[in-house]
């Protein structure tokens, strides 16, 4: 059955207003950094809920919205996740990662230890929903990885917009998250993000992003 269609409404902006807003938004996002040193300062759960709602406005294949965002603040569960994540990460660093991969990570000072999982007031684990079960019938979702990837990008932007910090963490394999969080068979862990405030003395690598000429090709 076809959806009812409604008029699309958006405020009309002048070219000058568009230029100003686009530049301001770029400057705002350019200040976003991945942070590994978190404070345990509390964050209002209402803020987290708004962030999740913002992420859930993302476009998705056939509007299936194939995502579940699990928000964890329970210390015992966070400890369990950290232990399982560090087990996989230690195996990665010791046996799975190539020498080139470890060389590329070395400037960032990363290792198998992930204390931020317990320190940050919240952990958000994004799960992708490969399919749905409706009335006992299995129904596929479409462009699942793409849809969830877009939603996670919007999630990260919403976290930054709320004055909080995060870090994209992908302990591989991530099957343990399905077990620890008791998720259904149709869900697969996609991304783990600690969310909170940066520690007062937190530092980030002095890196530079690629220039516009390096990431954009204009066909006139």
CATH number of the domain bearing residue 105: 3.40.109.10
Q: What is the pLDDT of residue 1?
A: 72
User: For residue 92, what is the enclosing H or E element?
Assistant: none
Q: Say how far apart CA 134 and CA 194 lie, in whole Å.
A: 32
In a domain, 56, yes or no: yes
pTM of the model as a whole: 0.94
Check if the beta carbon of residue 9 is closer than 8 Å to that of residue 136.
no
Q: What are 114's two structure tokens? A: 């992930």
pLDDT of residue 126: 98
| 111: Cα separation from own chain's centroid | 20
Structural domains of the chain, count: 1
Question: What integer pLDDT is reported at residue 107 of this predicted model?
Answer: 86
DSSP alpha helix (H) spans, 31-167: 45-55, 75-91, 99-105, 116-119, 144-161
- Asked if the structure places residue 20 within a domain, the reply is no
Query: Does some domain include residue 22?
Result: no
> Is residue 2 in some structural domain?
no
Per-residue pLDDT of the chain (220 residues; tens, 9 = 90+): 788 999 999 999 999 999 999 999 999 999 999 999 999 999 999 999 999 999 999 999 999 999 999 999 999 999 999 999 999 999 989 899 898 998 998 888 889 999 999 999 999 999 999 999 988 899 999 999 999 999 999 999 999 999 999 999 988 889 999 999 999 999 999 999 999 999 999 999 999 999 999 999 999 9
Instruction: Say if CB 196 and CB 165 are below 8 A apart.
Output: yes
On whether residue 125 sits in a domain, the answer given is yes
* 57 three-class SS: coil
pLDDT for residue 3: 82
The answer to whether position 134 is within a domain reads yes
Range of the domain at 91: 35-198
Three-class SS of 150-208: HHHHHHHHHHHHCCCEECCECCCCCHHHHHHCCCCCCEEEEEEEEEECECCCCCCCCCC
Q: What is the pLDDT of residue 146?
A: 98
């Amino acid at each position: 059955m076809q959806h009812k269609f409604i008029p699309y409404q958006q405020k009309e902006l002048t070219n000058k207003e568009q230029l100003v807003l686009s530049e301001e938004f770029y400057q705002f996002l350019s200040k976003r950094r991945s942070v590994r040193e978190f404070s345990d300062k509390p964050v209002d759960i209402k803020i987290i809920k708004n962030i999740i709602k913002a992420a859930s406005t993302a476009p998705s294949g056939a509007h299936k919205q194939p995502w579940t965002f699990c928000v964890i603040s329970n210390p015992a569960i966070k400890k369990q996740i950290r232990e399982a994540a560090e087990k996989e990460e230690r195996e990665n660093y010791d046996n799975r990662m190539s020498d080139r991969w470890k060389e590329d990570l070395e400037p960032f000072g990363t290792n198998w230890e992930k204390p931020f999982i317990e320190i940050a007031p919240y952990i958000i684990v994004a799960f992708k929903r490969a399919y749905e079960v409706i009335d006992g019938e299995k129904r596929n979702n479409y462009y699942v990885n793409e849809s969830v990837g877009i939603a996670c990008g919007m999630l990260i932007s919403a976290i930054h917009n709320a004055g909080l910090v995060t870090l994209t963490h992908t302990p591989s394999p991530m099957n343990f998250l399905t077990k620890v969080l008791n998720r259904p068979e149709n869900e697969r862990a996609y991304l783990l993000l600690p969310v909170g405030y940066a520690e007062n003395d937190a530092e980030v690598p002095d890196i530079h992003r690629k220039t516009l000429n390096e990431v954009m090709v204009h066909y006139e």
